[in-house]
Chains A and B, each alone.
Chain A
Amino acid sequence: MDISIINSVQILSYAVLVALALLLGQFIQIDGNIMLAWPVGAITVWLTWKDGWKKSFLPIFLGSAVSIYFHDLEDLMAAQRILATLLTGIIGGELLRAFEVQRTLNSVRDILLLFFLGALLSTALSSFSAAIVVRLPAADWIDTQRLWWSCWLAEAFAIMLVMPVLAEQSKRPSTESWIMLALVITNASIVYADILPQGVAMSLPLSYTASPLLLFAAFRLPINHLGVLLLVNAIIATWGTANFMGPFTLPTVEESILALHGNLAILSITALIISAAIQERKQTNQALSDRNEELNFILENQSEALIRTCRQGNLLYATPSSYQLLAQETLPENLLSWFTQHNVPLPDWILSSKPAKSGEFTHKLGEKWIQWLIKSAGSDSDLFWTGHDVTAAENAKLASQKHLSTLTQFGRLSDMAQLAGGLAHELNQPLAAAITYAEAAQRIAGHSTACKNLIPPLNKLVKNAELAADIVRNTRAFLRAEDIRKQALQAKLFLLETVDLLAFEERHAGVTVKIECDDSAKLFAAPSQFQQVLVNLLRNSIQAIEREKTGGRITLSLSQEEDMDILSHKDNGPGIKAKDREHLFDTFRTSHSKGIGLGLCISRTIIKAHGGDLSLAQSDSGAAFIIKLPKVKESAHATVSNSYR
């Protein structure tokens, strides 16, 4: 409903427009049937061009029919008027549609097609019909031809003048547009209104003064503004010439108008083509600058750093990602010297003056690893740097190297384990004999006063031999291929018993051990092996505290995680030095004189064989370890084989 109302209103308003244009044409008709311009052609072509003939037919027909009502025309003339109006509009508009001429009139092609199809071709037929109808009764062929020419040019020219004004461009008039308009009006007034003394005004060259103005406008203004200028210029020129003023005044009006129209048409078409060419160029420029912007956008928003420097390293260009990659607010003036300042080793070829095509190098900057790909056309040309953050890849590489070295170490360790096993086996008997001999000697020496002073060294002999025996025993505990037979343990009782084992040492070192554990809590572990781990941790803490201070405190606390029991061991001793942390669980590392550094390694192996983990925990003061053990399963006994079997 609404749409049909809108359509009706549109049809009516277009019909009024056509009627007005016809009346205007009538108004500027002089000397009987000679038209100065025929604006209705432009209106009808434009309507059809815009909406197609099916839509434009009705308003054109209505408009021309209505206009006839205001003119006292013969039937034949009236029919011709309606037919000619329809022919021009529909042929011109449909041709423009068929050739897909854009109503923005932005290209030379569009202007040329508008000129040949929309103006010349479409009006040729209608003008011919008008000329025949008007002058045929007189059978004066020369006059008919002249009338045809004048009608044709008037109509075609009107299309070329009006259409650019209707071009669909939405630029608001600038000051420049207004100044140009004023200049064109002034110029036209001077040239065509006989303001100057007659001799000067009549001179033909004066007609060219419009050219520089309009050509300038063609370069500077949008096409519809240019159209307005052309139209205004043409109106004034036509009016003046029709009144026998200006350079184109010839004996008859028809001749004058024809000459003027010829001149104006050339001027107009030139200006329009220039304007379209300028538009095309602007579009190309715009497209280029859009593309450029797009490329810049891509360039500036990608993660790689792109830098261009001269051969000496002076910075010429850098993408924003370069700042990020180098973690700099502003990039240095000279990249090469900046690298040198930051102790980045540069490949020799960059520094040498020899021509080189391309190369790459990787360096560390802070925590980051950066890889640069450098390209250069020759020894004197610029360097193009492409930088990536390869930290992840580099770290992965390092991790795999470390893994490999750990594996190698494991291999060595297993060789060593065999050697150590053999040694421990062979050493045990002589050590046992040595200890027993020494103890026998102590007893014997005890019997006689003469040998009393042998006793202290013999005591030391026994102690040292026992230390050696301990080492052998520890080594064998580590290597012994025993199954881990896990069982559910009453956690609190077990911890109390374990702490009790070291009661003497604890008292001696002035260390108190606190146990934080629910009475009902359970642990799932092999008692003797797990005890060995705890004793090891406790003893380490006790010894560390003993060396450093008194009033030591060790806390053992048991907590639960989803499927793990977490036993944390903390002390208030001196803690573990940062440099020791990394290798803490390696074999044969020890910070104290007692022991050979197998303790933590064995402990971790034991806990791992339980399916758990022993790790160092973060702690502000003192050492802290975390033991994770899988929780008690209801199926009580499970066997986990020792991985060192």
Chain B
Amino acid sequence: MPQFPIHIVDDEEDIRDALSLLLISVGYEVVLHENGASLLSGCKPNDLATILLDVRMPNMSGLSVQDKLIQAGHVQPIIFMSGHGDIAMAVEAVKKGAMDFLEKPFRDVLLFDAVEKSFLRLEEESTLIIEKKEMQAVVKTLTSRELQVMNAVAEGLSNKIIAKKLKVSPRTVEIHRARVFEKLNADNAQQLIRKLATGGLLK
């Protein structure tokens, strides 16, 4: 299984230290942050990493950090930790997309379970990101006419209508369409649409 860095955000130095020792001891890679600001500057929205986030911190609480991450388009799974197990808080955090909620003190196995779960998601995410990058690269190789045809196909228009719209012959549309399918490695319109969606290219 591929490894991803774990960002530990806790204002308590001993907790950070102990967690990093524990995680490193079983072979994980950790990045330590004293507060939310440090995390926001040290972790990019598309970084493949897990965030281990304390709820109660001075200045910016774990829940505010989560809000900021979501606003900035971060995709990292978040595991919350709280020394003051509060069901309402946990529910809110999970609703906003948190992966897990651990009540301090917790057994190491629980932490490892949560981390492994986040890694599974990251892995999925990473394949998607690769596919997306590939798609974006491929799409860049298309001519402007091919792009027009591709978008029209994605809209679900027939060849005839596309020809009328682009003021070309249906035959020309057919040729461009075949070339788009070939470049994007799609057998039919459905596959094409799915691939475009993966690449975030669907308008």
Q: Interface of A with B (CB < 8 Å)?
A: 425, 428-437, 439-441, 443-444, 447, 465-466, 469
Contact call A440/B25, Cβ cutoff below 8 A? yes
Query: Quick one: given A428-B105, A443-B108, A466-B105, are A433 and B26 in contact (CB under 8 Å)?
Result: no
Contact call B105/A469, Cβ cutoff below 8 A? yes
Contact indicator per residue, chain B 84-119, by CB within 8 Å of chain A (1) or not (0): 100000000000000000001111100000000000
Tell me the bound Cα distance from A432 to B22 in angstroms.
13
Tell me the bound Cα distance from A429 to B108 in angstroms.
15
Contact call B107/A439, Cβ cutoff below 8 A? yes
Contact call B83/A428, Cβ cutoff below 8 A? yes
Does B157 sit at the interface, judged by CB under 8 A? no
Does B120 sit at the interface, judged by CB under 8 A? no
Tell me the bound Cα distance from A344 to B15 in angstroms.
67
Write the chain A residue with the least CB distance to B108: A439
Which residues of the partner chain A approach B15 to less than 8 Å between Cβ atoms?
A: 429, 432-433, 436
Please name 11 pairs of A and B residues whose Cβ atoms are closer than 8 Å in the assembled complex, sorted by A: A432-B15, A432-B83, A433-B14, A434-B18, A434-B105, A436-B18, A436-B105, A436-B108, A444-B21, A444-B25, A466-B107
Which residues of the partner chain B approach A439 to less than 8 Å between Cβ atoms?
A: 22, 107-108
Tell me the bound Cα distance from A435 to B84 in angstroms.
16
Does B163 sit at the interface, judged by CB under 8 A? no
Does B19 sit at the interface, judged by CB under 8 A? yes
Contact call B18/A437, Cβ cutoff below 8 A? yes
Which residues of the partner chain B approach A428 to less than 8 Å between Cβ atoms?
A: 83-84, 104-105
Tell me the bound Cα distance from A466 to B108 in angstroms.
12
Write the chain A residue with the least CB distance to B102: A432
Write the chain A residue with the least CB distance to B103: A473
Q: Would you give the shortest CB distance from B17 to chain A, in whole angstroms?
A: 8
Which residues of the partner chain B approach A435 to less than 8 Å between Cβ atoms?
A: 105-107
**Which B1-33 residues have a C-beta within 8 angstroms of A?**
12, 14-15, 17-19, 21-22, 25-26
Which residues of the partner chain B approach A440 to less than 8 Å between Cβ atoms?
A: 18, 21-22, 25, 108
Tell me the bound Cα distance from A560 to B88 in angstroms.
35
Tell me the bound Cα distance from A428 to B86 in angstroms.
14
Q: Would you give the shortest CB distance from A577 to chain B, in whole angstroms?
A: 35
Q: Would you give the shortest CB distance from B116 to chain A, in whole angstroms?
A: 15
* Chain A contact residues, majority secondary structure: helix
Contact call A432/B104, Cβ cutoff below 8 A? yes
Contact call A431/B105, Cβ cutoff below 8 A? yes
Contact call B26/A443, Cβ cutoff below 8 A? yes
Query: Which of A431, A434, A437, A466 is the one whose CB lies under 8 Å from B21?
Result: A437
Q: Which of B105, B106, B108 has the most CB of A within 10 A?
A: B105
Tell me the bound Cα distance from A444 to B21 in angstroms.
9
Q: Would you give the shortest CB distance from A37 to chain B, in whole angstroms?
A: 123
Contact call B105/A425, Cβ cutoff below 8 A? no
Query: Which of B14, B25, B108 is the one whose CB lies under 8 Å from A447?
Result: B25
Q: Would you give the shortest CB distance from A473 to chain B, in whole angstroms?
A: 8
Which residues of the partner chain B approach A433 to less than 8 Å between Cβ atoms?
A: 12, 14-15, 17-18
Contact call B22/A436, Cβ cutoff below 8 A? yes
Write the chain A residue with the least CB distance to B56: A429
Tell me the bound Cα distance from A466 to B105 in angstroms.
8
Write the chain B residue with the least CB distance to A472: B105
Tell me the bound Cα distance from A433 to B18 in angstroms.
6
Q: Would you give the shortest CB distance from A474 to chain B, in whole angstroms?
A: 13
Which residues of the partner chain A approach B17 to less than 8 Å between Cβ atoms?
A: 433, 437
Which residues of the partner chain B approach A447 to less than 8 Å between Cβ atoms?
A: 25
When A and B form their complex, which 6 residue pairs have the shortest distance between CB atoms, in order from nearest?
Answer: A432-B105, A440-B22, A436-B18, A443-B25, A440-B21, A432-B104
Tell me the bound Cα distance from A430 to B14 in angstroms.
8
Write the chain B residue with the least CB distance to A477: B85
- Besides A428-B104, A434-B18, A439-B22, 14 new A-B residue pairs in contact (Cβ under 8 A), listed by A number: A428-B84, A428-B105, A429-B15, A432-B104, A432-B105, A432-B106, A436-B18, A436-B19, A436-B105, A436-B108, A439-B107, A440-B18, A440-B21, A440-B25
Write the chain B residue with the least CB distance to A447: B25
Contact call A425/B25, Cβ cutoff below 8 A? no
Write the chain B residue with the least CB distance to A428: B83
Which residues of the partner chain B approach A430 to less than 8 Å between Cβ atoms?
A: 14
Tell me the bound Cα distance from A115 to B112 in angstroms.
131
Tell me the bound Cα distance from A429 to B25 in angstroms.
21
Write the chain B residue with the least CB distance to A469: B105
Tell me the bound Cα distance from A432 to B10 in angstroms.
12
Q: Would you give the shortest CB distance from B122 to chain A, in whole angstroms?
A: 22
Tell me the bound Cα distance from A443 to B22 in angstroms.
7
Q: Would you give the shortest CB distance from A452 to chain B, in whole angstroms?
A: 15
Write the chain B residue with the least CB distance to A435: B105
Query: Which of B12, B19, B22 is the one whose CB lies under 8 Å from A429?
Result: B12
Query: Quick one: given A443-B108, A465-B105, are A429 and B18 in contact (CB under 8 Å)?
Result: no
Q: Would you give the shortest CB distance from A432 to chain B, in whole angstroms?
A: 4
Which residues of the partner chain A approach B105 to less than 8 Å between Cβ atoms?
A: 428, 431-432, 434-436, 465-466, 469
Which residues of the partner chain A approach B107 to less than 8 Å between Cβ atoms?
A: 435, 439, 466
